[in-house]
Amino acid sequence: MEPIFRIPLGDWVEVGLDWLINTLDSVFVFFRAVFVGAYDSLDWLLTAPPYWVVIVVFAAIAWWASGWKLGVGTLVSFAVIVGVNQWDNAMHSLALVAIGTIVAVVISVPLGIWAARSDRASSIIRPVLDFMQTMPAMVYLIPALAMFRVGVVPGIIATIIFAMAPGVRFTELGIRGVDKEVVEAGHAFGSSPARILFQIQLPLARPTIMAGINQVIMLSLSMVVIAGMVGAPGLGAEIVQALNRIDAGKGFEAGIAVVIVAIFLDRVTASFGTNSTRKTNKADKADKTGKTAKTNKASKTDNVGAAA
């Protein structure tokens, strides 16, 4: 059935993409070089040392972040990755996720701050975030492939676009959730907007922001397989090969490695947010205890004076 009319949206997109490629080709070449260099450096850092050294470092980070249980669990879990012969692939994927997450956080946190401080900016940013989150992730690969060619860079670009939305939303939510009386007290003492942001709002919003960063990491890991479809090395490439060959065993081994890496990153980042919340609560309790003690002391002094 022929439609009464057709909107040539696809044609407009292709024309716009061709214009971007022809006009900004040197810019895309520059960013490709930057991302490839960053990825290769981090990948070398993870794969050059013996695997047991990297595992010990990961276990120490987990121990410091959450305690000995997570540290021991990290040792055992990453030993499983070595046992199923997926260590190098896991490190390739971890490097990709790390680069994508860092760039997504660097972009999303300032955007979240801007949205929290401006209702107009928030009203503009929110529909864009809705579009980014609802658009199928594989659609992002098409323009990324045209701009950056096959390899790890299209996977990183798609990861950044797909994963940055929670960082913006949680940052805005955290800053808007800061007690207004505390902010007004900062203004009353003559603090500048920058000082209020960095010394009051961001520290108090840190648990919520860390939860957003946690979600950014999880969404980045979910893009591993899609990145493997465009030539990015790692566990995604292994899963794609297993799918093409209908090799259930190989696919399960790579999938288990993805799960282990995801649990490690999730627990560590969640622990940072939990620890900051505990420190804030302890500080609040200490302040309240100090104020109560001072009040009681003043009351006793007044009572003694009245009795005299």
| pLDDT tens string 35-60 | 999 999 999 999 999 999 999 999 99
pTM exceeds cut of 0.85? no
pLDDT tens-digit series, residues 61-105: 999 988 889 999 999 999 999 999 999 999 999 999 999 999 999
pLDDT tens-digit series, residues 12-27: 888 988 888 888 888 8
In the CATH scheme, what is the homologous superfamily, with its name and number, of domain 27-281?
A: MetI-like (1.10.3720.10)
Count CB neighbours of 28 within 10 A: 18
CA–CA distance, 160 with 162 (Å, rounded to integer): 6
The token pair that represents 285 in the structure block? 């309790």
DSSP 135: S
User: Structural domain boundaries of the chain?
Assistant: 27-281
DSSP 157: H
CA–CA distance, 46 with 53 (Å, rounded to integer): 10
pLDDT tens-digit series, residues 146-170: 888 888 888 888 888 888 999 999 9
The token pair that represents 45 in the structure block? 């850092």
CA–CA distance, 103 with 197 (Å, rounded to integer): 22
